[in-house]
Chain A
Amino acid sequence: MNPDLFFQYMLAGITYGFLYAIVAIGFNIIYNTTGIINFAQGEFVMLGGMFAITLNNILPLPLAIAAAVVITMLIGALLEILFIRWLDNPSVLRMIIITIGLSILIRELALHFWGETVFSLPYFTGNELSTVSILGAKVSPQVLWVIGVSIIMVTALSLFFKFTFTGQQMRACAANRLAARLCGINAKNMVTFSFMLSAGIGAVAGSVISPITYTQYDIGPGLAIKGFTVAILGGLGNSVAAVIAGLLLGLIESFSIIVIPLAFQEAVSISILLIILFVRPHGLFGRSDTASLKEF
């Protein structure tokens, strides 16, 4: 294989990879504060894209995206307050079922509001034909937007968790909820906040990927499954690991077409998920002893 083609496959893989990673990070944030997997994460991505597209009719693109992110964050908070917050010491299973229910509910509402139609945001720079040449391979400038935005988001998140007071409080809740509460941290507020944060991240992702993948009311579950695979692959709760795992899965998917027909691409990622769940349930980068501390 000549190097041009190699990079062409690689860039395709990296695009998929970052896409999956952003969804996985959304899973991780909520997992860290609550110990649950929020299966409505894919719907946040869809909502972000849809709101941005709708608002773009009346607002310039950057404002439309910003507004879409804020709206989606509010929806995230609202969902948590309405459906999770008031539960008295709920079991993990119960909360997971609730999020599955929410995901179906959001999808049906989106179908009602936006219908079946496939929408997309305009390309941030250039149009459908614009290409950028990198190492002999050609990609859409939007791919660079996806990669850039993802890197900025991951960096900002790490800084947020490390250096801001709220971030530290959230980490305290993740480490030991009871101890955090004894120190006077309002754990319930932290959970609400984690829903807002992951909704916001999902919405940003939904907006940047929209020109590439299009946005439709039912894109959520597909993204959620890929994101979940990546989150598990990297080790639940670890955002940097999620990026690495995302890239790994993206590259495997992209290069797999050389030997396996495209029709089996989904099978490849599901097989990886199953293998990881059987062989290394704590993920590639997680430690089994810490994983066993979390209750499933």
Chain B
Amino acid sequence: MKKLFALSLSVLTLWAVSLFFVAPDDAQADEIKIGAIIAETGGAAFLGIPEARTLRMLTDEVNARGGVAGNTIKLIIKDSGGDPAKAVSFAKQLIEEEKVFAIIGPSTSGETMAIKDICDKNKTLLVSCASTKAIVDPVAKHVFKTPQNDSLAVEMIYLEMQKKGISKIAVAVGGTGFGKMGGKFLNEMAPQFGITVLENEVYDPKSTDLSSLVTKFMANKEVEAVVNWSIVPAQAILAKNMRQAGWDVPLFLSHGFGNIKYVELGGAALEGVFFPAGRLLVADSLPESHPQKAVLVKYTTDYQAMFNNEPVSTFGGHAYDAFKILCKGIETVGKADTAMVIDAIENMTFVGTGGIFTLTPTDHSGLKLEAFEMLTVKDGKFALAN
């Protein structure tokens, strides 16, 4: 009996081992592994959830069409929860164990900065869905990103303030990598636009009430507008607390506000806020002749058909752009060769959801100020501000 058991055990083991060793070899010939580090949970989940959904949708779509240059895409999504430490270990795992061709994400700037060097040193392509300029400045050969630079968003906001004759502002940022970098640019760039930052505060990303912060800002009677730079749900709380305190100065938010879920959270308090964003959120209002129109409408229609009419967000758009740029690079070259694909991407013009990308060896972001529109919230929906 014992012998029989040992025998069957060893047969089973052999079979299991063979599964591990033989199967991948068969598939490897025409499979490209793409890793993705996405904050599907945690404070940045409003970014990560649409990103992950978009990537899964696009992978299925591409594979159904026969793959990229004859290769099927195998997508491996890791949920980092927005935590830079987790992003680092997932990046190492994807590079060393899964040997992925490229990594899409992470969702947040803090995470991307944490793995920028790891990817570059290991010669693994990284197309980030996070926004801060530091990701592509200085340029790392293997690192690209799809969202508009935060410095551009700051410029957009300051130009709008100039138009409105606002020159004295208060700045509140969420305590994440994105918030801190935004605060840095807001303060550094203000003098160029004749704007003075009178108050600076950082709030805990898990804040539940910011009324004392609002009171502090209100106490400074010279403040003409507030900028709230954040990607966490607390950005809606600040708006609520301002309006509840009866303070109605203009409120500017960052491009980290581009998910309608934030509007649902803050409700009426978010009516009339200003924030710069790509055109995805207002695709309907664009004229037919706009070069981005077709891309935006197709992505919106596909996404909504797939996910129960859920409104699209700019974040899903960033993942769309990242995935498409990678695919276009591989298609141009005809195979998954890192150096050649980078070469292709560095000479690429691509019409995406975030704008029209003109990528060069010195510009790994490829978007200009024109990629933005100034948006507002009207009757609970995103709308063009001007």
Contact = CB atoms under 8 A, between A and B. Distances in A.
B184 interface: no
A42 to B, nearest CB: 12
Contacts of B210: 262
B208 interface: yes
Interface stretch (A96-104, A125-133, A157-165, A195-203): A125-133
Interface stretch (B140-148, B239-247, B327-335): B239-247
Contact of A9 (B175, B203, B212, B261): B212
A138 B215 contact: no
A239 interface: no
Interface string A8-52: 110111011000000000000000000000000000000000000
Contacts of B215: 5, 8-9, 12, 254, 257
B201 A5 contact: no
B237 A129 contact: no
Contact of B202 (A12, A117, A263): A263
A8 B42 contact: no
B195 to A, nearest CB: 21
A138 B246 contact: yes
Contacts of B268: 127-129
B201 A129 contact: no
Nearest to A8: B215
B45 interface: yes
Given A118-B265, A139-B244, A13 B212 contact: yes
Interface residues of A, number: 41
Interface in B264-311: 265-270
B269 A12 contact: no
Q: Name the prevailing secondary structure of the B interface residues.
A: helix
A168 to B, nearest CB: 37
A184 interface: no
Contact of A128 (B42, B49, B202, B243): B243
A131 B202 contact: no
Interface in A60-97: none
Contacts of B40: 116
A97 B333 CA distance: 59
Given A12-B209, A116-B42, A128 B244 contact: yes
B202 A222 contact: no
A172 B261 CA distance: 50
Given A8-B218, A116-B45, A212-B208, A127 B267 contact: yes
Given A12-B209, A13-B212, A261-B202, A131 B245 contact: yes
A11 B215 CA distance: 10
B240 A219 contact: no
A120 B269 contact: no
Contact of B203 (A133, A253, A262): A262
B288 to A, nearest CB: 36
B64 interface: no
B204 interface: yes
B201 A128 contact: no
B169 to A, nearest CB: 17
Contacts of B211: 8, 11-12, 15, 139, 254
B8 to A, nearest CB: 37
B212 A12 contact: yes
B213 A257 contact: yes
B199 to A, nearest CB: 10
Given A116-B41, A265-B204, A128 B213 contact: no
Interface string B205-235: 0101111110110110000000000000100
Contacts of B240: 128, 140
A214 interface: yes
A262 B213 contact: yes
A279 interface: no
A129 B243 contact: yes
A5 B247 CA distance: 12
Contacts of B206: 222
A262 B212 CA distance: 9
A263 B175 contact: yes
A222 B209 CA distance: 13
Contact of A262 (B201, B244, B266, B269): B201
Contacts of A118: 233, 261, 265
B233 A257 contact: no
A12 B243 CA distance: 14
B175 to A, nearest CB: 6
A222 B240 CA distance: 21
A9 B214 CA distance: 9
A1 interface: yes
A259 to B, nearest CB: 10
Given A140-B244, A214-B265, A263-B175, A1 B202 contact: no
13 contacts: A5-B218, A8-B245, A12-B212, A116-B41, A118-B265, A128-B240, A128-B268, A128-B270, A137-B245, A214-B237, A257-B213, A262-B212, A263-B202
Please list the 10 inter-chain residue pairs (A to B) with the smallest Cβ-Cβ separation, ordered nearest first: A213-B208, A138-B246, A128-B269, A12-B211, A140-B244, A128-B267, A263-B202, A116-B45, A254-B212, A8-B215
Given A140-B244, A261-B202, 4 more contacts: A12-B209, A15-B211, A111-B41, A117-B45
Interface of A: 1, 5, 8-9, 11-13, 15-16, 111, 116-118, 120, 127-131, 133, 137-140, 209, 212-214, 216, 219, 222, 253-255, 257-258, 261-263, 265-266
